[in-house]
Amino acid sequence: MNPRTMSRIRPVTLAPALAVAALLLSAACATTPVPETRSAAAPATVAPAPATATAAIGVAKREFADPERSNWPQTGPRPLRTILWYPASAGGTPETQEVYGRDKALLRDAPLAGGASRPLILLSHGAGSRADHMAWLGHVLAGRGFIVAAVEHNGSPEEELHSRPTPSDHFAWERARDLSTVLDALLRDPAIAPAIDRARIGAAGFSLGGTTVLWLAGARFDLAHLVRNAPPMPADRKGAIEALIRLPQSNGAARDAQQRAEISHRDPRVRSVFALAPAMGFGFPTEGLRDVEVPVRIVVGDADPVTPAAPNARHFAEGIAGARYLEVPGERGHYTGATPAEVRAAELEEIADMAADFFDETLQP
């Protein structure tokens, strides 16, 4: 479908399937444990690291915004709050972040470690989630020498119109533009930009974030294909979904976003992408995956109950030329059962190491 004809499509015939996808994903992500951050009374000690690793990890926040897109209340630009994890030198305020029962020593606002410029990895979280929920991946990547930027796609309840699913998850393709806009900002940031190797930029995401980085790699969405293949609308969220269906009729930001559904969101600066349990495969026909030309690694749990492999991760991998695909045991991210925290931590650390290995290979100088 030609994206220039998008305005001829009535939102009421398309939005239910989008809301169904966002609802299913946000329900799963709502069970994700929230990492806790604690200030340390004294500088934390860090065990000696392997020669290829970084001994200290810094953490910082940025308050970016996209002046070319409105927030959903139409009161200002779209907010893009971002968490940075990076190899750090001495300085900053020691703190500890707990993820799945494991503590990680961090240095808040510490200077970047010196030396040669470093590759940058953009991170995209799942639906209904937050940037800090990607700490399990960000910590490992930073420890392996990458600069990492986790983008917060969802705003505050007020910024998301008190909707669940959120408009930001409903108009999910806008997330790819979030990553590109944050990349623009980082390359202008005086504290970060000099350390970024602009020829070595990658992106990684989980669940709807996995789909986001595939959009960034050049995957093309097809709304009509989505409508034909999406699961039925869940009855218990009928009111919330109907409100999202009507939103483009009364909200200029939503109307503008819908016009961008089927355009390419490819960012040529991004040289490789890693997707864990990508979602919404039913919205991407095979022909919409042929423009992806960068290295792609797709991993999914063989028991994932939220984004099952066949219509999602496997579909993407079969349609993307040269994509590397792996099914691993268990749920691997969409933890809906009583999986112990230590098991979750070990499983996600394995995935994070896979991602770091993949980026080491595909983002070589």
In a domain, 218, yes or no: yes
In a domain, 195, yes or no: yes
324-341 residue pLDDT tens: 999 999 888 888 777 888
Least confident of 64-68, 140-144, 228-232, 288-292: 228-232
Q: Residue 277 above 70 pLDDT? A: yes
In a domain, 165, yes or no: yes
CATH number (domain holding residue 287): 3.40.50.1820
65-75 residue pLDDT tens: 999 999 999 99
Percentage of the chain surpassing pLDDT 90?
70
pLDDT band for position 53 (cuts 50, 70, 90): low
Q: What is residue 25's predicted lDDT score, i.e. its pLDDT?
A: 43
Higher pLDDT, 29 or 253: 253
In a domain, 184, yes or no: yes
Higher pLDDT, 26 or 120: 120
Q: Residue 45 above 60 pLDDT? A: no
Q: Residue 2 above 90 pLDDT? A: no
Question: How many domains, the chain?
Answer: 1
Average pLDDT over residues 126-143: 96
Q: What is the 3-state secondary structure (H, E, C) of the chain?
A: CCHHHHHHCCHHHHHHHHHHHHHHHHHHHCCCCCCEEEECCCCCCCCCCCCCCCCCEEEEEEEEEEEEEECCCCCCEEEEEEEEEEEECCCCEEEEEEECCEEEEEEECCCECCCCCEEEEEEECCCCCCHHHHHHHHHHHHHCCCEEEEECCCCCCCCCCCCCCCHHHHCCCHHHHHHHHHHHHHCCCCCCHHHEEEEEEEEEEECHHHHHHHHHHCCCCCHHHHHHHCCCCCHHHHHHHHHHHHHHHHCHHHHHHHHCCCCCCCCCCCCEEEEECCCCHHHCCHHHHCCCCCCEEEEEECCCCCCCCCCCHHHHHHHCCCCEEEEECCCCCCCCCCCCHHHHHHHHHHHHHHHHHHHHHHCCC
In a domain, 245, yes or no: yes
pLDDT band for position 44 (cuts 50, 70, 90): very low
Q: Residue 48 above 90 pLDDT? A: no
Q: Which domain holds residue 122?
A: 12-38+52-362
Average pLDDT over residues 212-231: 93
6-37 residue pLDDT tens: 222 233 334 444 544 444 444 344 334 333 33
In a domain, 308, yes or no: yes
Q: What is residue 49's predicted lDDT score, i.e. its pLDDT?
A: 33
Q: What is residue 14's predicted lDDT score, i.e. its pLDDT?
A: 44
Q: What is residue 135's predicted lDDT score, i.e. its pLDDT?
A: 97
Q: What is residue 39's predicted lDDT score, i.e. its pLDDT?
A: 33
Least confident of 116-125, 206-215, 239-248: 239-248
Q: Residue 183 above 90 pLDDT? A: yes
Q: What is residue 54's predicted lDDT score, i.e. its pLDDT?
A: 61
Mean of pLDDT over the chain: 86
In a domain, 81, yes or no: yes
Higher pLDDT, 248 or 102: 248
Least confident of 96-100, 148-152, 321-325, 354-358: 96-100
Q: Residue 147 above 50 pLDDT? A: yes
In a domain, 317, yes or no: yes
